[in-house]
């Protein structure tokens, strides 16, 4: 991949993170991604295409496959993370499209009904990266499609995995999307979620849903 040094460093960082510990020991680990799954069930067209950006080694694709979703793409900067999921899934891994890449530079392969991001957008601290992400999300989502974006809440941690994050309220996230793509992403709902880490600490998240509402 030919990317700037910053993103090359990020890629190395995340490969090291996933190489250093079992996935079950990472602070963001979830045995069953219940909130994500519930929202995807609510907003996806049955069996419609879903992309999980920055999906890492999450068990979301396992849950989606079990739920009958057959058009799933998982994108992540870290090949090591995706390899963990591929090994875990075994032969079922061939039913998922795996993309190693930077979400801010991705060229979507098709229009998706659901864009899912749990704890990825908040790592983008530069306005340019945030704008690029928003542009990719717009191109990836079919008209009427939904984006589910979970970030640390305003009272969530200031750093994750040794990296700084930007914390959002649902209103601040909606305002950021509106600034990056005016009139495109209409807020649909938002909830607060307190995640319990494997070490027994808590992290406050906001989970927002947006609908791509502009004309195609």
Ligand X SMILES: C[S@@+](CC[C@H](N)C(=O)[O-])C[C@H]1O[C@@H](n2cnc3c(N)ncnc32)[C@H](O)[C@@H]1O
Q: Which residues contact 33 (CB under 8 A, 6 or more apart)?
A: 58, 59, 60, 63, 118
Choosing from 43, 69, 115, 123, the residue that interacts with ligand X (CB under 6 A) is 123
Judged by CB under 6 A, the stretch of 63-71, 88-96, 113-121, 138-146 that binds ligand X is 113-121
Closest among 88, 43, 83, 81 to 65, alpha carbons compared: 88
**Least distance from C-beta 48 to ligand X, angstroms?**
20
Q: CB–CB of 154/4 below 8 Å?
A: no
Tell me the number of residues near ligand X by CB under 6 A: 20
**Least distance from C-beta 89 to ligand X, angstroms?**
15
Residue 40 and residue 104: Cα distance in Å, rounded? 22
Per CB under 6 A, 206 contacts ligand X: no
- Kind of pairing, strands 185-196 and 202-212? antiparallel
**Least distance from C-beta 160 to ligand X, angstroms?**
6
Q: What are phi and psi of 16, to 5 degrees?
A: -65, -40
Per CB under 6 A, 77 contacts ligand X: yes
Q: Which of residues 144 and 192 has its CB atom nearest to ligand X in the complex? A: 192
- Which residues of the shown chain bind ligand X in the complex (CB under 6 A)? 10, 14, 28, 54-56, 58, 75-78, 81, 102-104, 118-120, 123, 160
């Amino acid at each position: 991949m030919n990317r700037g040094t910053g993103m090359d460093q990020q890629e190395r960082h995340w490969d090291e993170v996933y190489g250093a510990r079992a996935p079950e020991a990472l602070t963001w680990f979830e045995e069953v991604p219940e909130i994500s799954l519930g929202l995807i069930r609510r907003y996806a067209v049955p069996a419609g295409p879903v992309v999980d950006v920055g999906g890492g080694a999450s068990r979301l694709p396992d849950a989606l496959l079990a739920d009958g979703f057959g058009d799933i793409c998982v994108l992540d900067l870290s090949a090591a993370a995706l390899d963990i999921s591929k090994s875990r899934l075994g032969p079922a891994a061939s039913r998922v499209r795996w993309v190693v890449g930077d979400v801010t530079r991705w060229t979507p392969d098709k229009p998706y009904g659901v864009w899912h991001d749990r704890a990825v957008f908040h790592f983008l601290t530069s306005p340019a990266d945030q704008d690029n992400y928003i542009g990719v999300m717009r191109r990836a989502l079919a008209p009427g499609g939904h984006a589910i974006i979970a970030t640390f809440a305003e009272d969530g941690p200031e750093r994750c995995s040794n990296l700084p994050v930007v914390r959002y309220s649902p209103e601040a996230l909606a305002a950021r999307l509106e600034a990056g793509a005016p009139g495109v992403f209409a807020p649909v709902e938002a909830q607060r979620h307190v995640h319990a880490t494997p070490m027994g600490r808590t992290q406050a998240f906001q989970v927002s849903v947006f609908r791509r509402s502009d004309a195609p």
